[in-house]
Amino acid sequence: MAAYGISGKQIFGRFGFSPSELAFPFLLGTGFLVAVCAMQVAGRITVTRNGDRLSIFSGVGSIGWTWNYRWSEFSSVREDYVGAESADESQHGSVLALEGKRRVRFGSKLSGPRRRYVLEVLRAMLNKH
């Protein structure tokens, strides 16, 4: 029976990784973790309505993402439950879902009380519309 695989000579003889090339994936991972931690500690979600324009900002300070929509595209808002199944555990969470001509889900990182507050404010705003 023959064993197939990569021998030490193939790895060290053909590939010439420098230390900086080996560190690159770790630097990317570190950057991602720092961004996630910053969002958890100092992140915010801002929902702004100006006439028929709806803006949803998610980020830290002025660094983040802004999504723009038309307010008239939405007729209701509700709390939606999402889940991701993996082989050994289930992860479930809640998001806010604006629905109408289109569907937008956001706010997965909000705490329960903050999510309910934003939900009630958006419901009141939709009822006035």
Q: Which two tokens stand for residue 40?
A: 């958890």
Between 61 and 12, whose confidence is greater? 61
Instruction: State residue 86's pLDDT score.
Output: 47
Report the C-alpha gap between 11 and 129 in whole angstroms.
66
Instruction: State residue 82's pLDDT score.
Output: 78
All residues at 6 or more sequence positions from 115 whose CB lies less than 8 Å from its CB, including other chains: 79, 94, 96, 107
Model pTM score: 0.65
Instruction: State residue 2's pLDDT score.
Output: 52
What's the pLDDT tens digit per position in 71-97?
Answer: 999 999 999 887 655 444 444 578 899
Instruction: State residue 39's pLDDT score.
Output: 80
β pairing state of 74-85 and 43-50: unpaired
Instruction: State residue 120's pLDDT score.
Output: 93
Report the C-alpha gap between 33 and 55 in whole angstroms.
27
Q: Which two tokens stand for residue 96?
A: 């806010």
What's the pLDDT tens digit per position in 19-30?
Answer: 667 788 888 999
DSSP 5: -
Residue 37 predicted with pLDDT over 90: no
Q: Which two tokens stand for residue 119?
A: 């939900």
77 CB-contact burial (10 Å; exposed 0-12 / middle 13-18 / buried 19+): buried
